[in-house]
Chain A
Amino acid sequence: MNFNATLIGQTVTFIVFVWFCMRYVWPPIMAALEERNARITEGLAAAERGQKDLEQAQAKVSENLDEAKQQAQEIINQAQKRANEIVDGAKDIAREEADKIKSAATADIDQQVNSAREQLRKEVSGIALAGAEQILKREVNADTHAAVLDELVAQI
């Protein structure tokens, strides 16, 4: 081992290298590494947040869906109730109408029966009068027997 000025030269070289490394190599790389670290951390946090948001949204969607289903069910129920009401109302109206028609028909029939009875009574009284005339073979004074006839007519 013989020492010479190389010792000094190497020391100076070493100092220069360390200085350069400290000034131009280490800080930028370290800064980039730390920045990337922060970015990755942030990205992971964002991903987690996104996941959570998605879960919340899904929960909300299913909640909305349930609500919508319930509402639809209510609407259907109401519609059915309404339909029943309408049918019931229509039935009532139809019954009323039918009653009206029936009573009108009944009145008509009554009237016709009455008129037929009247006519029959008149015809019978006519026939009775004619029969009586024939039986008696003489003219019956209508005026004198009118009272009797009317009594007859009333009895029929």
Chain B
Amino acid sequence: MELMRSNSTKQKNTVEAVKEVTSKLHTEPSLLLFSTSTTHSFQEVTALFNAQYPNSEVVGLTTTGEIGPSGFLENGLVAMSFAKSIGQISTVLMNDISKYPVFSRNDLISAAKHIGINLNSQTLEKEGLVLVFPNGLIAAEEKMLSIVNSIFPHEGFPVFGATAGDDAKFIETFVSLNGEVSSKGGVVIFMKPTVDFVMLKENIFTSTGKSMKITKADTEQRIVYELDGKKATTIYANRLGVKENELDQYFMTNPLGRRFNNEIFIASPFQILPNGTIQFYCQVFQDSIVEILEPKNPVETLQQTLHTFKSEFTELEGVLAFNCILRKLQFQSHGIFPELNRELEKLPNLGGFCSYGEQFNKSLVNQTLVLLGLGKKR
């Protein structure tokens, strides 16, 4: 029996779409995960899935583009089912991740303990994993992550997830757990899988070698006021060699990166605020050095990533993939979806979506593709 199944549809009628997408899934899975375009009513989709799977954990979220068995799709609906034999699963809806994620801390501890995760283990990476799906546009991912990670006294519990989207309308996103819908909360799924899993993060950017120092920032609000002691937009545009009033056109292709040794954590600029400051998709710290990045060949990079990813397994049951909205826009502008999909469709039981941020262990990352594969490791 397949441990994971996935399906997608571009059917516009919501009832038909749910019917079509569930036709190839498990009839009574342990977990049902769906991601939907805002072209469908989220409340309706949630209700339909919950009605069909009353004995399963049903988690859903709005997206900004979906990823199904054939790769990227627009205005679609994607669902994945996880068989009971994949392992134990417990879920929590953190109601307010923007202000009071700490209120959900005890629920998180209970949920993790409920499926036998030893929170005090010294080898947390062997205890299981947690999937997190925060709402977007409320600058709450780090807060949610900080509370989820806080239940483990030691480091190393694998965290994987992505932020909900709203088809680039930037108004409101939704998540749901077992029928309950939230636009301020986030869903947490603890898993104690019976199979192996591998997480991988793809970065399609490389440093241009041009660096700047953040000299004034509001970390919590993710705003950078000054770079190298001057107005942020002036310096950013100057270093990039573009006009200041055209800077936002380069955010997608030239985000910033904070380097930790050989690893670059991408910080994507979200928008230029009226006062000339720059707001980011993740927290930015004052006095940190950031480098201007430039894209590598996405198709070649994906081929290499998938080769590395697949070579980790002898058997791959299924794959969750979350891709940043900025990458999606970049791929769209270059018209390379067909080439990328030719690579992605080789993955078995693929499901996921394009997100407003990706969560990978302790960090919220931007402009990244994160992959979670379940199966038998080599």
The reply to whether chain A is a binding partner of chain B is no
| Contact surface of A with B, Cβ cutoff 8 Å | none
| Contact surface of B with A, Cβ cutoff 8 Å | none
